[in-house]
């Protein structure tokens, strides 16, 4: 109990410090209390996997309310990059330069995404990469990183599988591939490497896993 209370106290202090450093007062809503039992599942498609050089070309996000994904209110954005999209990337996400040529400027896309998210915790599969790419846009704008709590679907799945292992079995590697996770949980698959589809699938996995592992908001 004590470490948990200390962790919450540290998070609150960190959020308050970030709020005071916020360059744009219009973004103060990010530090309000999140609506109870609500999250936002997000995913980004990029020009590549280099966090320092590559850029976001599409963003998908869907709100989760209780056990429901609000897909009719989902957010899907195309983002106009400043550099060419490699052939290897096109083969993955099937977005060509002409597809994103009329996309939003990164800063406008970020503003729309932040308004959609609000203060809700973020959900995603290997969320760290998406957050790092988003913060490359956000930090010059706001001077602070994303303040929302982050929930990693692959970590929830690892906890779920680890609890099923006994003794020496716990030394085994757990397959955290997305296809494996979705199949094991009996969840429907959509076309992968589409930002909104991936966000929806990660959201479905979260909803199921939070009951299987007894997840409760911090």
Measure the CA angle with vertex 108, ends 204 and 119; round to 5°.
45
pLDDT tens digit sequence for 43-93 = 999 988 888 888 999 999 999 999 999 999 999 999 998 877 766 676 666
Is 60:48 a contact under the CB 8 Å cutoff? no
Domain spans of the chain?
2-212
Q: Which residue carries 């790092």 as its tokens? A: 132
Tell me which of 3.30.420.10, 3.40.190.10, 2.120.10.70, 3.20.20.80 is the CATH number of domain 2-212: 3.30.420.10
pLDDT tens, position by position, 163-203: 888 766 665 789 999 999 999 999 998 776 789 999 999 99
pLDDT at 172 (0 to 100): 73
Report the largest interatomic distance among the alpha carbons of the chain, rounded to a whole angstrom. Answer: 56
Whole-number pLDDT of residue 3 = 47
């Amino acid at each position: 109990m004590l470490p948990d209370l200390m962790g919450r106290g540290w998070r609150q202090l960190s959020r308050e410090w970030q709020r005071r450093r916020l360059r744009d007062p219009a973004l103060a809503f990010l530090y309000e209390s999140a609506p109870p039992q609500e999250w936002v599942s997000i995913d980004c498609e990029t020009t590549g996997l280099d966090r320092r050089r590559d850029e976001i070309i599409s963003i998908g996000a869907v709100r989760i309310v209780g056990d429901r994904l609000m897909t009719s209110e989902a957010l899907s954005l195309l983002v106009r990059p400043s550099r060419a999209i490699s052939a290897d990337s096109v083969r993955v996400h099937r977005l060509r330069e002409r597809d994103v040529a009329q996309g939003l400027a990164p800063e406008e896309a970020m503003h729309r995404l932040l308004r959609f998210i609000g203060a809700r915790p973020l959900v995603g599969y290997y969320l760290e990469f998406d957050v790092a790419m988003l913060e490359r846009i956000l930090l010059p704008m706001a001077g602070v990183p994303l303040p929302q709590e982050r929930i990693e679907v692959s970590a929830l799945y690892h906890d779920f599988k680890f609890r099923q292992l006994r003794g020496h079995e716990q030394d085994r590697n757990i397959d955290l591939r997305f296809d494996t996770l979705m199949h094991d949980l009996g969840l429907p698959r959509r076309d992968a490497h589409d930002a909104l589809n991936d966000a929806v699938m990660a959201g479905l996995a979260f909803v199921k896993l939070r009951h299987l592992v007894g997840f409760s908001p911090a």
